[in-house]
Structure 1
Amino acid sequence: MMLPNNAQHSGNRTFKHDTPPNGTPSVVANVCKRSVSFNKLDRQSTQTIPLCMVHELQAGQILARGVQRLLHEMNFASITEFIPTRGLRVDVMAITPKGEIWIVECKSSRTDFASDNKWQGYLDWCDKFFFAIPPDFSTDILPTEYGLIFADSYGGAIHRPSSLTTLNAARRKKIALNFARCAAQRLHQQIDPRI
């Protein structure tokens, strides 16, 4: 499996586990390694995530993890399983340094995409919308007007950019406030799980 030549990786950091448990180099990690550069601070901040965690995650969560690593390298703040409004729950939502709202919908298979009838509802809640898929996913069934990210549990690469649709100010403020509250509450629960 190879990523298309025009897939892009914008980060300059990597994680210690760039090889899947079976020893075969990650398809996305191979792309990521092309632009890796370290300095002393990078080496000190490199994170180690136990490989056993990968096996406990569902397919969509594995993609979300790789997407979040990509977004982190782009200096975006992201969270998973965010509810922008009643009845909708996005796989990954991110806020860029410029304040743009991105939504990434993770699709692990053709069946996963075909059975989802809610993703169109996410379009009203973001500036940019992406699908994230594994490298062996056939892209012919995906709409071409939205962004596309190839991902696995070790990272991600933007294959096709998304067009910008600017949110109105009131909705952007509501999303940013809910995003901040959700992130703070999750952090608090990690610090004090008994709350």
Structure 2
Amino acid sequence: MAIITPHKTSPLIDGRQSDRALLVRRGVQRFFYDLRVSLLPEMTLASGRRADLIGLTEKGDLFIVEIKSSIEDFRFDCKWPGYRDYCDRLYFATHDGVPSGIFPEDCGLIIADSYGAHLLREAPEHKLAGARRKALTRQFAKLAADRLMQAELAAHNLAAMGKSA
């Protein structure tokens, strides 16, 4: 489900994501939704970096999914090791046109298309410290609530103009 925003551009799609990356994201979102995991796209971390997807499980575990749409996308990205400080598990997600062998063995690996995803390799667990978990969980909740409010306000504005959402 797309988030409606009252802003001219969506904070979830800022133009840096390729069409292929957005399809992978959709498949990953569907996969984890079926597992009852809550996901937020594009959450800015304390480091200033933005996680492509951050997930919160029913147990309170946090994980990050870094989406890579090509070999070049992976090779030129040096920021992903820093994501380990903000999650219990780190995954890469890509599509079947990218060779799985380029991704580090100490990260989970997901292959996805726009309809779903398959977990090829589970990510090893690196438990977060309690204080960092608490801060990230609060940030996750606030961002989710803020985006819901934006969607409701946008739907209200459309309804007031006589249009449907």
Secondary structure of residue in 1 paired with 2:63:
strand
Matched, 1:165 2:129: no
Taking the TM superposition and a 5 Å limit, the aligned residue runs for 1:97-108 are 97-108=58-69
Q: 1:81 aligns with which of 26, 42, 53?
A: 42
CA distance in 1, matches of 2:19, 2:97: 17
**Identity level (%):** 38
What TM-score, normalized by structure 2, do the two folds share? 0.81
Cα deviation for residue 130 of structure 1 reads 0.4
CA distance in 1, matches of 2:30, 2:45: 22
Matched, 1:109 2:70: yes
Cα deviation for residue 115 of structure 1 reads 1.3
CA distance in 2, matches of 1:99, 1:157: 22
CA distance in 1, matches of 2:134, 2:88: 13
What is aligned with 1:135?
Answer: 96
What is aligned with 1:11?
Answer: none
Cα deviation for residue 140 of structure 1 reads 2.0
CA distance in 1, matches of 2:35, 2:118: 11
Taking the TM superposition and a 5 Å limit, the aligned residue runs for 1:6-21 are none
Q: 2:117 aligns with which of 156, 175, 187?
A: 156
CA distance in 2, matches of 1:154, 1:95: 21
CA distance in 1, matches of 2:139, 2:61: 15
CA distance in 2, matches of 1:99, 1:87: 23
Letter in 2 for 1:178: Q
Tell me, which stretches of 5 or more residues in structure 1 are unaligned? 1-46, 48-56
Structure having the higher strand fraction is 2
Cα deviation for residue 94 of structure 1 reads 0.4
Cα deviation for residue 59 of structure 1 reads 1.9
Matched, 1:120 2:81: yes
Matched, 1:145 2:106: yes
Tell me, which stretches of 5 or more residues in structure 2 are unaligned? 2-17, 158-165
CA distance in 2, matches of 1:92, 1:99: 16
Q: Structure 1 stretch 99-108 or stretch 81-90: which is displaced more?
A: 81-90
CA-atom RMSD in angstroms? 1.6
Instruction: List structure 1 runs of 4+ shifted beyond 2 angstroms.
Output: none
